[in-house]
Structure 1
Amino acid sequence: MIVSFLVGGACAGVLSKNIESRMGGNDYSIVEKAQKQIDDLKKQGIDVTKIDDPQAKESLELLEKVPAKWKVDTAGILGMVVAFLAFIMVIVAFMKKEIVTKVSVLVVALSLILWIITPYIEAGKYSGVNPKTIALIALIGLAVSSGCAFMSYKLYLKKATSV
């Protein structure tokens, strides 16, 4: 339980830094300007996919490459929340409290949501592991840890009632 918590919790906790490093300094103000430029061209009735303007093509490539801002922000915050809840779950599991069942289910559910919303960001020249992969490792590690915490309490109840 401890080893899987350490792996899953560490991956969930560092997810925001990984996404930040993968973004490569792409500021969302640049993305908003590119979106405005594309919207202006569409309002003029120009098909942006068939245009020969290099600036418009660059704007389209930027919009395809950069994930949605809400996904980036939410994944980073949710990763830290999941890591904190997993830490609480491990502590409560050793205290043999009933709340461990609810917290373990919550940790697995939030880890799954984290994996779903984490954006897939293409690798750069010096970037590390993909954020989607880190979220998957966190999901697996925290699911194993949650299962162990859940079962430790259930086995404790079984042992306490049989004695």
Structure 2
Amino acid sequence: MRVITLIFMILAFMIGGACAGVLFKNIENRMDGNDYSVVEKAQKQIDELKQAGIDVTKIDDPQAKASLELLEKVPPKWKVDYAGPLGMLVAFLAFVMVIVAFMKKEFIIKLSIIVGILGLLLWIISPDIPGGKYSGINPKTLSLIAFVGIAISSVCAFMSYKLYLKKTIVIA
């Protein structure tokens, strides 16, 4: 039974770890080199209009409408900055978890819980960037696939250690 959980752990890691690892490049490709200085200028312009008492949703100025569309389209900077490195960290920790699961160490219990929580956090903070005509998968969807794979891998690693303990208790 432990062998089956290890096989599922490896398969789930291959899917989840790959998706978490490429999330950084996916987000970078989706941003199309958009610099946040443009976003900051648009936010400043909208704030100035609001301070002047103008309702920005009902204004006919095309530049203000373009600024509003840009602010709606571009995700927050912190999501773009942190989601990619967190994805690489989750992929690395999941790889370490797979190795430790084969070593039959008690540390796997804590590590599998940490990896599962970090996978969930990755999915929560991933930006939802819509794609263009020829672009690939949305980063939010990619992080969801990564989370499911990492969660299954974590559960299998946890269970493989519990099955190992059960086997040693039965033998003893």
TM-score (normalizing by structure 2): 0.92
For residue 77 of structure 1, what is the aligned residue in structure 2? 85
Q: Secondary structure at the match of 2:57?
A: coil
- After superposition, where does 1:42-61 map in structure 2 within 5 Å? 42-61=50-69
Identity %: 74
Alpha-carbon distance between aligned partners in 1 of 2:32 and 2:70, rounded to the nearest angstrom: 12
For residue 23 of structure 1, what is the aligned residue in structure 2? 31
Of 110, 115, 119, which aligns to 1:107? 115
Question: Aligned partner of 2:76: which letter?
Answer: A
Farther off after superposition, 56-65 or 115-124: 115-124
Q: Secondary structure at the match of 2:135?
A: coil
Question: Aligned partner of 2:12: which letter?
Answer: S
- After superposition, where does 1:1-163 map in structure 2 within 5 Å? 1-163=9-171
Alpha-carbon distance between aligned partners in 1 of 2:52 and 2:152, rounded to the nearest angstrom: 54
Alpha-carbon distance between aligned partners in 2 of 1:92 and 1:116, rounded to the nearest angstrom: 27
Deviation digits for residues 111-160 of structure 1 (CA, Å, limit 9, x no counterpart): 11111111111111221001111111101111111111111111111111
Deviation digits for residues 64-109 of structure 1 (CA, Å, limit 9, x no counterpart): 0000001111111111111011011001000000000111011111
Alpha-carbon distance between aligned partners in 2 of 1:141 and 1:102, rounded to the nearest angstrom: 18
Q: How far apart are 1:25 and its partner, in Å?
A: 1.9
Alignment root-mean-square deviation, CA? 0.8
Runs of 4 or more above 2 Å deviation? none
Alpha-carbon distance between aligned partners in 2 of 1:89 and 1:139, rounded to the nearest angstrom: 15
Q: Secondary structure at the match of 2:55?
A: coil
Question: Aligned partner of 1:111: which letter?
Answer: G
Q: Secondary structure at the match of 1:31?
A: helix
Which consecutive residues of structure 2, in runs of 5 or more, have no partner in the other structure?
1-8
Alpha-carbon distance between aligned partners in 2 of 1:144 and 1:54, rounded to the nearest angstrom: 49
